[in-house]
Structure 1
Amino acid sequence: MRWTGLALLLLSLLGVLAQSVPEDPRDEAKRQKQLLLQTSGILPSDLIVEQGKDLFYTKRGPRGVSLEGCDFGLGAGVLQGASVQLPRYFADTGKVEDLDSRIRTCMTQLQGFKPEEVKRSEVVPLAFFIAAQSDGLPIQVRIAAPAEREMYELGQKLFYARSGARDMGCATCHVSYVNRRSGVLPFSDVLGKDASMSHWPAYRYSNDQAWTMEDRIRACYGNLGHPQPDFYSPVPIALQLFMAYQANQAKAELPGFLR
Structure 2
Amino acid sequence: MRHTSHYVIATAIIVAAAPAIAQTSVTDEIAKYRQLLADGNPAELWEMRGEELWKKKDGPQKASLEQCDLGKGPGVLKGAYVELPRYFKDVNKVMDLEQRLLHCRMTLQGLTREQGTKTPFASAGNPSDIEALVSYITAESKGMKMAVTASHPQEKTAYEIGKKIFFHRGGAHDFACATCHSTDGQRIRLQELPNILTKSNAQAAYTTWPAYRVSQGEVRTMQHRLNDCFRQQRFPEPLYGSDAITAVTMFLAKNAEGGVYNAPALKR
> TM-score per shorter chain, which class?
0.7 to 0.9
For residues 83 and 46 of structure 2, what CA distance do their matches in structure 1 show? 22
Q: Residues of 1 paired with 2:65 and 2:251: CA distance?
A: 28
Partner Cα separation in structure 1 for residue 215 and residue 89 of structure 2 = 39
8 Å CA contact 2:41, 2:265 repeated in 1? no
Q: CA deviation at 1:27?
A: 4.6
1:26 offset after TM fit, Å?
6.4
1:149 aligns with one of 134, 156, 165? 156
CA contact (8 A) 1:200 1:256 kept: yes
Query: Does residue 1:100 correspond to 2:98, yes or no?
Result: yes
User: Is 1:33–1:43's contact at 8 Å kept on the other side of the alignment?
Assistant: no
Contact 2:135 2:264 in 1 (8 A): yes
Q: What pairs with 1:55-74 in structure 2 (closer than 5 Å)? A: 55-74=53-72
Shift in Å at residue 234 of structure 1?
1.2
Q: Secondary structure at the match of 1:193?
A: helix
Letter of the structure 2 residue corresponding to residue 143 of structure 1: A
Segment drifting more, 20-29 vs 159-168: 20-29
Q: Which residue of structure 1 aligns with residue 186 of structure 2?
A: 180
Q: Aligned partners of 1:35, 1:240: CA distance in 2, in Å?
A: 30
* C-alpha distance in 2 between matches for 1:189 and 1:134: 24
Aligned position for 2:167: 160
Q: What is the TM-score when the length of structure 2 is the normalising length?
A: 0.84
1:211 pairs with 2:214: no
- How many residue pairs get aligned? The number is 243
Shift of residue 217 of structure 1? 0.6
CA 185–257 in structure 1, closer or farther in 2 if over 3 Å, else same:
same
Report the Cα distance in structure 1 between the residues aligned to 2:58 and 2:99, rounded to whole angstroms: 18
Identity between Structure 1 and Structure 2 (%)? 36
C-alpha RMSD of matched pairs (Å): 2.3
1:151–1:105 Cα change, 3 Å: same
The within-5 A match list for 1:20-169 is 21-22=22-23, 27-28=28-29, 30-36=31-37, 42-118=40-116, 119=118, 120=120, 121-169=128-176
Matched with 2:4 is none
Q: Does the C-alpha gap of structure 1 residues 242 and 24 become closer, same or farther in structure 2, counting only changes over 3 Å?
A: farther
